[in-house]
Amino acid sequence: MKRDFKNWGLFRIFISYFKPHMGLFALDMACALAISLVDLAFPYASRLCLYELIPEDLYGAFFAVVGIVVASYILRALLQYVVIYWGHGFGVLVEADIREDLFTHLQTLPMSFFDSNRTGHLMSRLTAELFDITELAHHGPEDVFISTVTVAGAIAILFTVQWRLALVMLILIPLFLTVATLNRKRLRDTSRNVKRVTASINADIESSLSGMRTAKAFANEGSEHSKFDAANDRFRVSKKDQYKAMGVFQSSLELFTSIMPVAVIAYGGLLIMRGYMDYRDLITFTLYTSTFITPIRKLANLSEMLVNGTAGLSRFVELMRVEPELVDKPDAVELKNVRGRIDVNDVSFSYGRDDAEVLRHVSLHVSPGETVAVVGPSGGGKTTLCSLIPRFYDVTGGSITVDGLDVRDVTQKSLRRNIGVVQQDVFLFADTVMNNIRYGRPGATDDEVAEAARRAEIYDDIMAMPQGFDTYVGERGALLSGGQKQRISIARIFLKNPPVLILDEATSALDSVTEAKIQRAFDELARGRTTLIIAHRLSTVRSAGRILVIRDGVITEQGTHAELLAKNGDYANLYNTQNLHM
């Protein structure tokens, strides 16, 4: 179902998630209605027994009514099971749909979004905050329905018994609901603050746990603990404010539910003294008071649930309204039969509107099958240039084409399917070696994965592991060495087998012997393919067909290794500096 998150209100968006599961929702509401009717029937049956059956010695009828009431409560218990099991199931389905939409939307957002948003914040929105929406989806309509039917039905019946006393109760209920509404705003604000703080502490914890090795290496556990304590204090204060608001709310609820029976007994006793009603009617009133105190409690608690649920819903919608900066054009075409010609035409780029340009009027033309190395000092723009080719970011000036097609005119999926990237910062999933390599081509067979591992010079290492290809690599590959992680990421690219390769410091974590093996594998893989190599060690790019030097966002030199040394410019300075330190 297509939802217009930009123009729809919160309520319409929320209700739209009910539609695919209306069968379960209808079952939940039907059972809730039956439960309300059973609750309404018992006091009336009691009044019938007190007024007619017992005084007229109709004992058979009396026990028949008792039997019917018992059967009704057995049925009520079964209906309650349906409401709890299937009703919560309905809420879970709504939550799952919302989470799927949110995760799908996050996948459409550009790298710049994830550069500026912490993982812990996003995790909180995908997990804990959606639970409140689930509770609202299930209990919200159900509690409103049950409470409304029960309270309205009870009041209607009581007006037929004694309208004077029913009127007192009718006045008390709106007074309570008014107090509850006044307290709701404070409760809502504190709940939203708790969600923000919880997301923040989740982000801090995620960062601290991910950086635990670094913290231990620098003996900075105390510093991390201080940051955690500060975040935990913010959480403690926010929860304290929330519970204070909740305490006021719950106290007013308890006062009302305690005063109502007293008011009924007091005014009912007065009416009995004046001859307006019978004690049996007062018993009926007392039973009905007990009957709808529970629904009124639900309505009161619904305010808290509504506050938490709408806070979670508003933060969900807020995220869904973030427009993806990189989208396929309506007429975007599939990039097929790629030969590998890359043209960078007068490209400029900055990461933010007010940021300085990282690249300035860069032009580069790479022929199909050519191997081009990109070198230069750190921060010069090497990685940025190579990140623009698979369109991880959009250029702010100029254009980039692959086989003559602007990368903005082709679908992102087809573009990235034809480009293999081995990044400097290797990321491995907390999974097996087999599945991490297979990530390069999910449909690959075990034999194809093994062959990719051989070509990446990691096969022997894998076979020496405890479970071979089924060995668990740990969080972010923590159980492997740096060289093993790098070679597994390289194996992914061998498996993907793309026509264009971008190697971003792909051998930076390898020792000299392994680097030499990988270099041979890269030479084989690069044969007949367009290859861009970002390198810090200039010894690894001497055989490249062409070498570019990027400094301060511009290409200062290009040529072969020998040509650039002969120029005695930036490349020669870098090369000589590295040789001096070897």
CATH number at 245 reads 1.20.1560.10
Residues 164 and 271 sit within 8 Å (Cβ to Cβ) = yes
- 285 band by pLDDT with thresholds 50, 70 and 90: confident
- 399 band by pLDDT with thresholds 50, 70 and 90: very high
CA 250, distance to chain mean position in Å, is 32
Indicate whether 191 belongs to any domain: yes
- 48 with 173, same domain: the answer is yes
- 45 with 14, same domain: the answer is yes
Indicate whether 380 belongs to any domain: yes
- 212 band by pLDDT with thresholds 50, 70 and 90: low
- 477 with 351, same domain: the answer is no
- Domain CATH number, residue 459: 3.40.50.300
Q: Of 464, 497, 530, at which residue does a domain stop?
A: 497
Between 365 and 515, the more confident residue is 365
255's CB contacts (< 8 A; 6+ apart) are none
- Minimum mean pLDDT range among 114-118, 443-447, 482-486: 114-118
- Minimum mean pLDDT range among 87-96, 195-204, 317-326, 400-409: 195-204
Domain span at residue 39 reads 10-320
Give pLDDT tens digits for 233-248: 887 888 787 778 777 7
- 270 with 411, same domain: the answer is no
Residues 120 and 194 sit within 8 Å (Cβ to Cβ) = no
- 30 with 97, same domain: the answer is yes
Indicate whether 73 belongs to any domain: yes
Give pLDDT tens digits for 444-466: 899 999 988 888 888 888 898 88
Q: Of 258, 293, 320, at which residue does a domain stop?
A: 320
The structural domain count of the chain equals: 3
- 508 band by pLDDT with thresholds 50, 70 and 90: low
Which DSSP state fits 529? S
User: At residue 581, does pLDDT exceed 70?
Assistant: no
Sheet strand arrangement including 371-375: 419-422, 500-504, 530-534, 371-375, 546-551, 554-559
- 214 with 92, same domain: the answer is yes
- 249 with 273, same domain: the answer is yes
State the pLDDT at residue 78: 92
List 532's β-bridge partners, or say none: 372, 502
Indicate whether 329 belongs to any domain: no
Highest mean pLDDT out of 120-124, 309-313, 522-526? 309-313
- 63 with 19, same domain: the answer is yes
- 360 with 315, same domain: the answer is no
Which DSSP state fits 538? G
The structure's pTM equals 0.66
- Minimum mean pLDDT range among 148-157, 208-217, 326-335: 208-217
State the pLDDT at residue 343: 92
Indicate the SS3 state at residue 334: coil
Indicate whether 87 belongs to any domain: yes
Q: Of 285, 320, 355, at which residue does a domain stop?
A: 320
Distance between CA atoms of 544 and 558, rounded to whole angstroms? 11
State the pLDDT at residue 507: 66
- What average pLDDT does this structure show over 11-36? 88
Indicate whether 214 belongs to any domain: yes
Indicate whether 385 belongs to any domain: yes
Residues 331 and 79 sit within 8 Å (Cβ to Cβ) = no
Indicate whether 355 belongs to any domain: yes
- 307 band by pLDDT with thresholds 50, 70 and 90: confident
State the pLDDT at residue 155: 82
- 256 with 358, same domain: the answer is no
- 92 with 205, same domain: the answer is yes
State the pLDDT at residue 401: 92
- 401 with 488, same domain: the answer is no
Q: Name the H helices within 274-325.
A: 279-320
